[in-house]
Structure 1
Amino acid sequence: MIIQSVQLVNFRSHDEFLLKCNKKTSLLIGENGSGKTSVLEAIYEALRGKSFKASDGEILKRGADFYRVELNFCDGRKTVVVFDGKKKQFLVEDKKVARLPKRNRYPVVLFLPDDLHLVATSPTKRRSYFDRVLTEFDESYSDSLLKYEKSLKQRNDLLKKYNNQGGDGKISRSDFFSWNILLSKYGLEIRQKRIKYLEQLNLVFSEVYHSIVDNFYFLSFVLKFDRS
């Protein structure tokens, strides 16, 4: 456990809140609407630089002028987040910055109740979840994914213009060539990294499963490709 404590002021429903973490496991227990998820949101913001669900104005407690999050680590370091109603600043290593530096961002995998529907949800949502996980640990994957989505949008916009153009024929099929090359390049990078990630995950998945359930089943994740 790298977190020693987290302190909140005017963060959502919390006027003031202090959580001292145990070395192994900490549990947040409370009634619905008591602000348990808000504590996780504050920790996430201090570790990643932004909330996973809302803007700063929505986080600020109603009627308050500012909110503050202080995250203390076991090695003596700390990160402070302050929003004054207009702008947000981070205090890291005794320096005030507008954005949390990359070297001070920690990889965080967020698992929410809605994620329990991953098994029964659409392939798009499952890919989106694994994409979020991979981007936390691999910046090159995030870069490839961003470039792929940008190239796909550019090609689709060009395709719409091609289908809607009149008789002037300013856009030809050859204009799609460069975008198709980029999509193939970044798509292959994404595919290879997904395969590698699932191979690593499968090394421990069955072991963890058997530590919970006493049976002889072997479980693994499989990445399927649509070849239609």
Structure 2
Amino acid sequence: MALAQLRLISFRNYSNQTVTFSNKLNLIIGRNAQGKTNLLEAINLLATTKSNRTGNDAELIKWSREKGSILGKLDHTEIEMIIEQNGKKYYINRKLRQATDLIGKFLVVFFSPEDIRIISGEPILRRKFLDRLLAITDKKYLAELSKLQRILKIRNKILYMQKLGKEVSDLSIWNKQLVETGSFVWSKRLSALAILNKILTVISKKILVNQTLLLTLRNNLNLKTEELADIKAKYQGNIDRLGSLEQERALTLVGPHRDDIQVEVEELIG
């Protein structure tokens, strides 16, 4: 579905603005500091539920207003985001929904000059980039990724309590969940990079001479296969091997949360 109309109320520098889009090419032209970037941010926010510029929802609301909203009209669907000082609410056709229900309603590719940090910045930026791509194309991935983050938080707390010598719940329960969920995330990431590399090979032939871009998932298991059973077996073995060290550091040392995506230029032969 395509975004046909956007209405901004008390969002950034907009008091009440409605924009109608063509189903072909749209150009946004204006002087500096007039709200072009804010308009693009609103579109991206409605598509992904996340701002590419801030993690503080209060910054999205126009100065002196209590709340703001973004309303988007698609072919036969109306989606709305109410932004309040302490969070957001989401509606589809005026019915209250979860944030995950908005993701994927319409697809957005957003690029800004700051995105060069995906290449030059820290690993978490590259993980987030790949996770956003997978989240909008695979709802199960989004659910499993959220589950993984909860498991890691609980598991790290248990490890910390164990380090203090306190009696806590059995870690093996969380180890099993970590292996199941983490292996799924790893498998999906490896599969996605394989697809992206095929696309990059085609694109590289058009813009590079005898070279291609290659994306590699760097992980602390040195995984090469996408087979779930193989990943689970290797993951469980490493958790067993590093158990005492994890207790000593009170930290989960192995998992998708420590991944990096390596971007290389590879020479083509022949």
Whether TM exceeds 0.5 here: the answer is yes
Q: 1:210 to 1:33 in 2, by over 3 A?
A: farther
Worse-matched range after superposition: 1-10 or 114-123: 1-10
Q: Structure 1 stretch 118-127 or stretch 202-211: which is displaced more?
A: 202-211
1:149-197 Cα offsets, whole Å, 9 max, x none, are 22222221111111112xxx7359xx32222222222111111100111
Q: Any unmatched runs of 5+ in structure 1?
A: none
Contact 1:89 1:97 in 2 (8 A): yes
Which residue of 216, 224, 246 maps to 1:222? 216
Rounded to whole Å, the distance in 2 between the matches of 1:50 and 1:203 is: 29
The worse-fitting range, judged by mean Cα deviation, of 53-62 and 185-194 is 53-62
Identity of aligned residues (%): 26
CA distance in 2, matches of 1:80, 1:22: 20
Per the alignment, in what secondary structure is the counterpart of residue 215 of structure 2? coil
**Is the contact made by 2:57 and 2:83 (CA closer than 8 Å) also made in structure 1?**
yes
**Unmatched tracts of structure 2, length 5 or more:** 223-270
- 1:163-174 counterparts in 2 under 5 A? 163-165=163-165, 170=167
Checking the alignment, whether the CA contact within 8 Å between 1:48 and 1:106 is kept in structure 2 is no
**1:210 paired residue among 202, 205, 208:** 205
Distance change >3 Å, CA 205–CA 91, structure 1 → 2? same
Q: CA RMSD in A?
A: 3.5
Higher relative contact order at CA 8 Å, sep ≥6: structure 1 or structure 2? 2
Structure 2 distance, partners of 1:64, 1:180, is: 46
| Correspondence 1:8-27 to 2 at 5 A | 8-27=8-27
How do 1:62-77 residues align onto structure 2 when only pairs under 5 Å count? 62-64=63-65, 67-73=68-74, 75=75, 77=77
Secondary structure (helix, strand or coil) at the match of 1:111 reads coil
Matched, 1:178 2:173: yes
Q: How many angstroms does 1:39 deviate by? A: 0.9
Q: Measure, in 2, the Cα distance between the counterparts of 1:181 and 1:121.
A: 33
CA gap 1:131/1:103 in 2 versus in 1, 3 angstroms: closer
Paired with 1:178 and 1:84, the residues of 2 have a C-alpha distance of: 38
Alignment check: 8 A CA contact 2:135 2:142 kept: yes
Equivalent position of 1:97 in the other structure: 96
C-alpha distance in structure 1 between counterparts of 2:126 and 2:91, whole Å: 36
What amino acid maps onto 1:170 in structure 2?
A: E
Would you say the 8 A contact 1:11–1:60 is kept in 2?
yes
Contact persistence 1:49–1:99 (CA under 8 A): no
Match of 2:33 in 1: 33
| Distance in 2, Cα, partners of 1:128 & 1:21 | 29
* Alpha-carbon distance between aligned partners in 2 of 1:101 and 1:128, rounded to the nearest angstrom: 16
Aligned equivalent of 1:201: 196
Q: Under a length normalisation based on structure 1, what TM-score does the superposition of the two structures give?
A: 0.75
Q: Is the contact between residue 66 and residue 83 of structure 1 (CA under 8 Å) also seen in structure 2?
A: yes
TM-score, structure 2 length as denominator?
0.65
Match of 1:71, as an amino acid? G
Asked whether the equivalents of residues 117 and 125 of structure 2 are also in contact (C-alpha less than 8 Å), the reply is no
Match of 2:213, SS state, is coil
Change (3 A) 1:98 1:126: closer
Structure 1 residue 58 corresponds to structure 2 residue 59:
yes
- Alignment length, in residue pairs? 220
Q: Go from structure 1 to structure 2 and tell me whether the alpha carbon gap of 1:49 and 1:217 turns closer, same or farther (over 3 Å shift).
A: closer
Shift of 1:206: 2.4
The Cα of 1:90 is off from its aligned counterpart by 6.2
